[in-house]
């Protein structure tokens, strides 16, 4: 069901485990995720308060040219390139950090660079093959740190910083390709 506040149209998704409100602005539209028990008025007030930010995000999305879809051969080549780049980093950093992933996979994702499952399975975005090496190394260390810390707590960030003291600078390389 669509909701409207001011001139913004959005969808509300209620989740049992949420404690806070989250706004997702995508090309398909705006989604507000909210706790089950939160009042609609509170949600509307929040959207009104974040109106300028939402408009700014929508403007960015609409002004960014959409990449063309890759054909299966290009996807396979990108996956192989990512694997060739990431596998040695996973091996190197697993030893240094004293952790071991159960499995390493590759996917062509729209927005997520990597993930670590509760069973210590790592997945990396094949688009990392087009990114700066130092950024890719940061993503690998970030996901390996999730083997010990399944969240983004202070302990998690301390773990990342212990092995990559310059991780904050590396994160900024997201905007730079090779």
Domain ranges of the chain: 2-63, 72-175
Q: Is the pTM of this model over 0.85?
A: no
pLDDT at 113: 95
* C-alpha span between 129 and 142 (Å, rounded): 17
- SS3 label, residue 85: helix
Q: Is 110 a residue whose pLDDT tops 90?
A: no
% of the chain at pLDDT higher than 90:
77
Tokens 């995000």 locate to 57
Distance CA 170, CA 159 (A): 15
CB 27 within 8 A of CB 45: no
**Candidate CATH numbers 3.30.230.10, 3.30.413.10, 3.20.20.70, 3.30.2010.10; the one for domain 72-175:** 3.30.2010.10
Q: Are 3 and 12 in contact (CB under 8 A)?
A: yes
Report pLDDT for 64: 62
pLDDT for 71 equals 83
Query: Residue 27: helix, strand or coil by DSSP?
Result: coil
Average pLDDT of the chain is 91
Under the banding of pLDDT at 50, 70 and 90, the label for residue 69 is confident
């Amino acid at each position: 069901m669509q909701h409207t506040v001011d001139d913004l149209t959005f969808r509300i998704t209620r989740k049992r485990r949420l404690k806070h409100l989250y706004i997702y602005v995508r090309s398909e539209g705006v989604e507000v995720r909210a706790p089950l028990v939160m009042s609609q008025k509170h949600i509307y007030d929040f959207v009104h308060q974040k109106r300028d930010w939402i408009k700014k995000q929508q403007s960015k999305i609409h002004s960014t040219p959409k990449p063309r879809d890759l054909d299966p051969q290009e996807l396979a080549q990108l996956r192989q390139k990512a694997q060739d780049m990431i596998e040695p980093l996973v091996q190197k950093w697993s030893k240094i950090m004293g952790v071991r992933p159960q499995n390493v996979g590759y996917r062509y994702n729209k927005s997520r660079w990597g993930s670590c499952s509760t069973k210590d399975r790592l997945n990396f975005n094949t688009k990392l093959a087009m990114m700066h090496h130092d950024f890719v190394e940061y993503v690998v260390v970030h996901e390996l740190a999730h083997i010990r810390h399944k969240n983004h707590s202070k302990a998690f960030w301390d773990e990342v910083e212990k092995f990559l003291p310059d991780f904050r600078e590396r994160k900024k390389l997201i905007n730079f390709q090779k």
